Structure 1
Amino acid sequence: MAGSLPADGPLPINRLAEPLLRKLSDVLDRAAAGKGWRDLAQLAGSHGGVRLSSLELEQCSLEVLVAEGSPSRSLLQLMGERGCTVLELTKLLQALEHTEALQCLNIPGIKVVVEPESRAALSGQTVKLSCWAAGYPHLHYQWFKQKKEVPHGNTPELVFSQVNTDDAGIYICRVNSESSYVFSRWVQLDVCDLQGAYHGDSLDLPENKIHICIHPQPQNLMVGEMLVLQCEAIGIPIPQYQWFRNGSPLTNGDKKSYMISSVNTEHQGIYWCHVYNDKDNQESKKVDIAIGGKPVAVECTEEDLSGLGGHDLQDQSAERQFAVDKVALLMGNMSYCNHPKLKAPLVDVYELTNLLRQLDFKVVSLLDLTEPEMRNAVDEFLLLLDKGVYGLLYYAGHGYENYGNSFMVPIDAPNPYRAANCLCVQNILKLMQEKETGLNVFLLDMCRKRNEYDNTVLILDALKVTANIVFGYATCQGAEAFEIQQSGLANGIFMKFLKERLLEDKKITVLLDGVAEDMGKCHLTKGKQALEIRSSLSEKRALTDPIQQTATSAESMARNLQWAKAHELPESMCLQFKCAVQIQLGFAAEFSNVMIIYLRIVNKPPEITVCKAYVMDFPLDLDIDPKEANKGTPEETGSYLLSKDLPKHCLYTRISSLQKLKEDLTFTVCLHYEYAGVDDVLDERKVVNIGKPLIARLRIHQGFGKNSCFQSCCFAHSPGPGAAKFCPPLPNCPSHSYAGFCQPSPAHSGNALQPAGCHCRMTPNRLLAWQSMWPYPNQSNIPVETTDETDELESNFSGSLRLSHPQ
């Protein structure tokens, strides 16, 4: 076996098999700060007796500029030539706690053989969470509740003699040996408190049985009132819930509580909850929910009707409408794994973001999302909606339409894809309606041809009859959408015409009619693409309607906080090195999940003749190619849209897919310099932690959108184990901005605020307290200058159309 080690005698590193050296070098090249090849070199010099000069380290670092080059491979070669053995390398990697590299050398590992189980218990019961592992040489255990160590939780079994509601939460166990560590899976402990009705131990229930502690209660309601049904159970594993009405399962009825904000007569019937896990199932009591009707007609005289003349109606229709708030989710998918890649969504999403911000929309703009990321982004978008809020969703990418339902295709969709791999637009509309929004606008820049590989017929709950829905389809049913085929940046056909009219103060349907007429005048798209508008809008509502809030409500504060979380940029910072060189770092947001880091040297002593700086060691989640970082122009990094706004004479690094970031964004700033008359190249490094910028704060990669602090705290699934040195990975809890160079600050915390835990019961007082610590933008947002360097349509792409969103 190429990767195995001989058992006899000390073996120099450079005598390892070449495949093993390549694998080990790759692991060290990709390592995060504190475990990279430079850390190994420094440790080898201070503890291993293998000292390398600054010039040798510089030669190693320059390997990143060579095709197939590896700094770590060069370092291992030098260490081997100096007599460093595999045993000595193993000790160095153990000191760095580099588990992945040790595994390459077949260091004995740890295996969790008994995982803890999630459970729901009654207050006062004795509860035990168990984690047992096998490994070598000696194992040590440490339990965590979220990120905090549990006092005295250093045994395989975590025992609560009399559990209470303060003990409820998410737990994980870390198992350590001398050379490595592993985490158990996350588990949830729920505690049901019946406020002294009876003591938990008196139940004496078998562990494999479910017991329902709280049953739903019958209710008599009037039309328009709120229905709230509750059911709570204990058991191992933690029970799951499904609500039924008249024998049929209810959509979104998979929580302990089932709520309808405004009931009508169709909601009456017999309700109950089915509670189950993989060992048992129980049904709650069946309760009758009666709905009392209201008069369906109003008695009036002819005299009463005389004041409802046509003139009054005309004046009423001309009244200005107001929005409680305006929020938009913009998603553009381009870099498909199994389908043709697209170009136009980059420019389309960017320009639409700028325009909507001028209309006071809170905009979340995202590029290249997988299916879970799209679903979780929609969940976060729904948190921003409320009664009277204008909601706009724009999507550009591959798509299709089957049986009247439109489907947006994520970048990781298989080939062929089906409904289960995509997001249904009509289902999103149903969820928006539940928020009682004032206006629902969908702008879909995608194909609408039928998917011949998908025969799924989705049975969705009927949409409410509302007069506030507008669909703007970039093309007609059964047709394709196009983008411009050219070497530079360009819009899709739909956005090319939409952006010219979007700021017009007109009813949204009238505005879209104008776009349709403009598109119809383009002879290149006649017979190929035509805008289709579907609307139930009865009021004169426009995207330009002003925002008017009568009072600051808890919902408004929660919405502002949730939006601000996704748009917080790190502050500009000044780094002071020992050699008296000063480096400034600045940050700019290209999209809600794309950030530009720019760096420049602002001060150096005169005796230093050569001085260079660059950033490196980014988290593996972001998959940043070192050869595409630290460029002299933004365009070289792939950022074509912000170049005119960024400061000049810097090194630029583009960080995309921030939604994938699992931990704080940490990177290293490296400084190389030479003194006059000295040949040696000296280097200094500083590790910078900027927290979780932009959309990374929402942790949409984890799939906890439905369990956000503003909705619920029921974690249906536990995330997998992570690998952190001191703390376990934390499960989720809950402008198109620009941060330029500013005055140097002596310290930089990275995060303005990192919530310590899940603030689940979000009362108005708690929101006010939290809001006072959170510097979110005001309601008017920050207008951003739009960019439009695209030439006239006819001269730019005559005869060069291509399909942008084929099926």
Structure 2
Amino acid sequence: MSDFQHFHLLNINLLQDPILQKVSELLDQTSSKGWRKLAELVANDKRFKLSSLELHQCSLKVMDSEGSPSRSLLRLMGDRGCNTKELTEFLQTMGQSDAIHLLRPQGIKVVVQPDSMAVLSGQLVKLCCTATGHPLVNYQWFKMNKEVPQGNSSELAFSPVHVNDAGFYICRVNNANSFDFSDWTQLDVCESNLTYHGIPGLPENKIHICNQPQPQTLTVGDRLVLECAAIGRPLPHYRWYKSGHALKDATKKLYMVSSVTMEHCGVYWCQVTNGNETEVSKEVEVVVGFGNLWTNMAAAMECTEEELSGFTDTEQTNEHLFATDKVALLIGNMSYRNHSQLKAPMVDVYELTNLLRQLDFKVVSLLDLTELEMRNSVEEFLLLLDKGVYGLLYYAGHGYENYGNSFMVPIDAPKPYRSSNCLCVQSILKLMQEKETGLNVFLLDMCRKRNQYDDTILIPESLKVTANIVFGYATCQGAEAFEIQHSDLANGIFMKFLKKRLLEDKKITVLLDHVAEDMGRCQLTKGMQALEIRSSLSEKRALTDPIQQTACSPDSLARNMQWAKAHELPGSMCIEFDCGVKIQLGFAAEFSNVMIIYTQIIEKPPEIIYCNANVTDFPVDLHVDPKDTNRGTPEETGSFLVSKDLPKHCLYTHLSSLQTLKENLTFSVCLRYTYQGIEDAVDDRKEVDVGKPLIAKLDIHSGLRRHFCVQTCHVPHSPCHSPELAPGAAGPSHIFTSPQYSQSRLNVYNPSPRSVMRSENCQQGSDSASVGMQHFSECKSTNNIPVETTDELDHTLYESTSVSKNN
């Protein structure tokens, strides 16, 4: 039903007061086409059954100083069920065209469009949109197809604006009758390499170059990157020139040549304009030479034999490395069945996911996996790897290290656990090497104490002698890793310092060195936890290296499809019941195996005075906790991380462990409603099938695809056995009485005031993030660029008292 049709079926008592007031004034002031003529027509209509006494009472309203016979008559007609369409028909019979015009829904139109602009980070920036229409106009801003939190006024303010705020924005305006969209506007935010502090916004039609291109000396085959960034309003446009000639298709801030030749030598500059003003950057020279012997186009360089020898022995300092793709698998295990529970992996995995996505990594983030699920997740991760791909594996949870081999402990590991119950990291590295990856990074946030119940000496298959392998251990060999607890959220010590550095454009080992130095200054864990780095890095590889896909090969297509399968959310849907109630269902991803369902009643007939809708009847293999369903806030379901990005005034349901789904995700939408004047409530329900969302599509709960352990590492169950029975195959746990063994990350408790963390020692910052989400509102179709921010958290670190250690 359209907004127009819905308006005409509206009971006239539900019309807005300004409309009714204007119609009443018009009918009161008109004799031949006034309220008495309307009363005569209504009295003769059997549908409304107005008595002579009631009409007489309407006429008496003229005796009141502010009384209105027309308003009284309209109220009586509304009480008899008269709608806008029927009132319009009466007015047409009377020839009262002026009143009909007042009843027609007014359109809405954007009259002031938001301006595209380029600004410096740190400024106060406002995007403005103004619309006309009656009744009141509502505003909602979107960044691409993602709703902007608190973006519900005509001005969208950034105070101050950050680089992460850059993107395309649009404003939806609506009233009760219609809606309209503004034009797309682009906000470009520049980080200047100049020293601007509190620079005010530039006047309109002005432009200023804040980042100038820099001269470069390159080798044949190197990549050329020139940057010119300007701020201004309207948005600046760029045109690059070389030696006085405009370069073809060089119309962006960055001018890049993937592989330079001698022909690229010359003098470059950039012209920037916004249609009203033009500025030209400084001229810079690009020199290209063969090998390490640089050739200037203006003059040849002479080198002695001794100098030439020095060039040969010196590493090239201008290597431009790239990845063919970037993929990451993040696993956080917390809810152990037989061991102490952890808290930090949830926040750590979430924050690392958001940071890696800013570095263009394809990220799969998973919480609480069994052994079978962990092995199959690694198998899916390996499918995403190929030659030149950067692969990153992050694990947070219980773990140990024996004889140089690191083991990650699944949530279903028995007590005590052995290597046959866990995943060997070195075995995963061996399989990654077979893919000829460009960079292998392992970030292991777990303990590295020896497991005294596991005396198996594993003899791994020989690892290839390959470079570009980096291990970042959260703690030293033989030591524990700690986490910081506060309320319902926690951070691991390693992630607390890593997230502040991860976006830096530095060689990965240099970045980790700085993280180690930061951790060393934390007095609360000094002497207990220190970052250890192991590396065979032979190139200046960094997580910020760009992605350069040389060709769209079948392998890369398959890789992208496999990754996309793990991130498909159900689309927002509207459920309509026979009674006229409409329920909107939306879906958001917190992790690759954790989803939020949010429900909202968007329409109900006026005769229904109360209605409530819940989702229920989920598949039994999901183990949905009732206290996590149909709650008034996301926090009540245990979802603290994406709550600020979800729509308000909904009921929220938290579904975890989506990897356990064996069939489609089906559930019921149960509606309970009450009609006016009837005490008994009516129940109705609709069945919903949303397929297999997110990681459920990959069926990692099913039988083992391949073995990841080395030759002497026994796999505890075959594909035909349930993972629940796996620990028994590794050896009966009942022969041990209260065994004490190594823990992965110590939850430590507070025996003294000195355990409270001081902000100057370990300060938590806010990071940018990403969340996939389907929204209720209509929006123009375009690419989705999800970006969120996490709020700053206060934490408390506790000293260890009750957790046993394996010394």
Q: TM-score, normalised by structure 2?
A: 0.53
User: 1:783 and 1:547 mapped to 2: Cα distance?
Assistant: 19
For residue 463 of structure 1, report the CA deviation from its aligned partner: 0.7
Give the residue type in structure 2 aligned to 1:599: T
Counterpart mapping for 1:66-215 below 5 A: none
Partners of 1:467 and 1:536 within 8 A in 2: yes
User: 1:625 and 1:398 mapped to 2: Cα distance?
Assistant: 24
Give the corresponding residue for 1:80: none
In structure 2, the residue corresponding to 1:644 is in which secondary structure? helix
Counterpart mapping for 1:178-577 below 5 A: 309-311=309-311, 314=314, 316-577=316-577
For residue 576 of structure 1, report the CA deviation from its aligned partner: 1.0
In structure 1, the residue corresponding to 2:366 is in which secondary structure? strand
User: 1:431 and 1:304 mapped to 2: Cα distance?
Assistant: 48
Give the residue type in structure 1 aligned to 2:413: A
CA change 1:450–1:606 in 2 (3 A) is same
Q: Does 1:789 align with 2:792?
A: yes
Note the alpha carbon deviations across 1:368-387, whole angstroms, 9 max, x for none: 00000000000000000000
Give the corresponding residue for 1:662: 662
| Runs of 4+ with >3 A deviation | 303-315, 704-708, 716-721, 798-807
Give the corresponding residue for 1:730: none
Give the corresponding residue for 2:609: 609
Give the corresponding residue for 1:619: 619
User: 1:580 and 1:798 mapped to 2: Cα distance?
Assistant: 54
Give the corresponding residue for 1:593: 593
Give the residue type in structure 2 aligned to 1:797: T
CA change 1:493–1:707 in 2 (3 A) is closer
In structure 2, the residue corresponding to 1:316 is in which secondary structure? coil
CA change 1:806–1:325 in 2 (3 A) is farther
User: 1:578 and 1:344 mapped to 2: Cα distance?
Assistant: 46
In structure 1, the residue corresponding to 2:400 is in which secondary structure? strand
Give the corresponding residue for 1:580: 580
User: 2:372 and 2:774 mapped to 1: Cα distance?
Assistant: 30
Q: Does 1:695 align with 2:730?
A: no
Note the alpha carbon deviations across 1:723-772, whole angstroms, 9 max, x for none: xxxxxxxxxxxx7422222459xxxxxxxxxxxxxxxxxxxxxxxxxxxx
User: 2:801 and 2:345 mapped to 1: Cα distance?
Assistant: 14
Q: 1:739 aligns with which of 761, 774, 778?
A: 774
User: 1:797 and 1:464 mapped to 2: Cα distance?
Assistant: 44
Note the alpha carbon deviations across 1:246-294, whole angstroms, 9 max, x for none: xxxxxxxxxxxxxxxxxxxxxxxxxxxxxxxxxxxxxxxxxxxxxxxxx
For residue 705 of structure 1, report the CA deviation from its aligned partner: 3.8
For residue 606 of structure 1, report the CA deviation from its aligned partner: 0.8
User: 2:790 and 2:673 mapped to 1: Cα distance?
Assistant: 39
Note the alpha carbon deviations across 1:497-522, whole angstroms, 9 max, x for none: 00000000000000000000000001
User: 1:806 and 1:577 mapped to 2: Cα distance?
Assistant: 58
Give the residue type in structure 1 aligned to 2:509: T
Counterpart mapping for 1:16-55 below 5 A: none
For residue 313 of structure 1, report the CA deviation from its aligned partner: 6.2
In structure 1, the residue corresponding to 2:561 is in which secondary structure? helix
Partners of 2:483 and 2:797 within 8 A in 1: no
In structure 2, the residue corresponding to 1:431 is in which secondary structure? helix
For residue 674 of structure 1, report the CA deviation from its aligned partner: 0.8
User: 2:634 and 2:356 mapped to 1: Cα distance?
Assistant: 25
CA change 1:308–1:563 in 2 (3 A) is farther
Partners of 1:486 and 1:800 within 8 A in 2: no
Give the residue type in structure 1 aligned to 2:498: L
For residue 495 of structure 1, report the CA deviation from its aligned partner: 0.3
For residue 703 of structure 1, report the CA deviation from its aligned partner: 2.5
User: 1:628 and 1:487 mapped to 2: Cα distance?
Assistant: 18
User: 2:654 and 2:674 mapped to 1: Cα distance?
Assistant: 28
Partners of 1:482 and 1:805 within 8 A in 2: no
Partners of 2:331 and 2:365 within 8 A in 1: yes
Give the residue type in structure 2 aligned to 1:529: Q
Give the corresponding residue for 1:298: none
For residue 616 of structure 1, report the CA deviation from its aligned partner: 0.3
CA change 1:567–1:805 in 2 (3 A) is farther
CA change 1:323–1:783 in 2 (3 A) is farther
Give the corresponding residue for 1:674: 674
In structure 1, the residue corresponding to 2:429 is in which secondary structure? helix
CA change 1:805–1:650 in 2 (3 A) is farther
User: 2:371 and 2:353 mapped to 1: Cα distance?
Assistant: 22
In structure 2, the residue corresponding to 1:470 is in which secondary structure? strand
For residue 317 of structure 1, report the CA deviation from its aligned partner: 3.8
RMSD: 2.7
Q: Whose Rg is larger? A: 2
In structure 1, the residue corresponding to 2:513 is in which secondary structure? helix
In structure 1, the residue corresponding to 2:701 is in which secondary structure? helix
Partners of 1:377 and 1:705 within 8 A in 2: no
Partners of 2:627 and 2:637 within 8 A in 1: no
User: 1:802 and 1:582 mapped to 2: Cα distance?
Assistant: 54
Alignment identity in percent?
Answer: 73
Partners of 2:395 and 2:446 within 8 A in 1: yes
For residue 462 of structure 1, report the CA deviation from its aligned partner: 1.1
Give the corresponding residue for 2:295: none
For residue 550 of structure 1, report the CA deviation from its aligned partner: 1.2
User: 1:319 and 1:457 mapped to 2: Cα distance?
Assistant: 41
Partners of 1:397 and 1:805 within 8 A in 2: no
User: 2:805 and 2:771 mapped to 1: Cα distance?
Assistant: 30
Note the alpha carbon deviations across 1:782-805, whole angstroms, 9 max, x for none: 4532314223xxxx4255567999
Note the alpha carbon deviations across 1:340-386, whole angstroms, 9 max, x for none: 00000010000000000000000000000000000000000000000
Note the alpha carbon deviations across 1:215-273, whole angstroms, 9 max, x for none: xxxxxxxxxxxxxxxxxxxxxxxxxxxxxxxxxxxxxxxxxxxxxxxxxxxxxxxxxxx
Partners of 1:400 and 1:447 within 8 A in 2: yes
CA change 1:583–1:614 in 2 (3 A) is same
Give the corresponding residue for 2:228: none
For residue 680 of structure 1, report the CA deviation from its aligned partner: 2.0
CA change 1:555–1:471 in 2 (3 A) is same
For residue 628 of structure 1, report the CA deviation from its aligned partner: 2.8
User: 2:608 and 2:314 mapped to 1: Cα distance?
Assistant: 77
For residue 445 of structure 1, report the CA deviation from its aligned partner: 0.3
User: 1:451 and 1:404 mapped to 2: Cα distance?
Assistant: 12
Give the residue type in structure 1 aligned to 2:417: Y
Partners of 2:344 and 2:485 within 8 A in 1: no
CA change 1:742–1:312 in 2 (3 A) is farther
In structure 2, the residue corresponding to 1:471 is in which secondary structure? strand
User: 1:694 and 1:785 mapped to 2: Cα distance?
Assistant: 19
For residue 318 of structure 1, report the CA deviation from its aligned partner: 2.6
Alignment gaps of 5+ in structure 2: 1-302, 709-716, 723-769
Q: TM-score, normalised by structure 1?
A: 0.53
User: 1:400 and 1:304 mapped to 2: Cα distance?
Assistant: 56
In structure 2, the residue corresponding to 1:491 is in which secondary structure? strand
Partners of 1:344 and 1:483 within 8 A in 2: yes
Counterpart mapping for 1:715-730 below 5 A: none
User: 2:363 and 2:637 mapped to 1: Cα distance?
Assistant: 24
User: 2:304 and 2:468 mapped to 1: Cα distance?
Assistant: 29
Partners of 1:483 and 1:802 within 8 A in 2: no
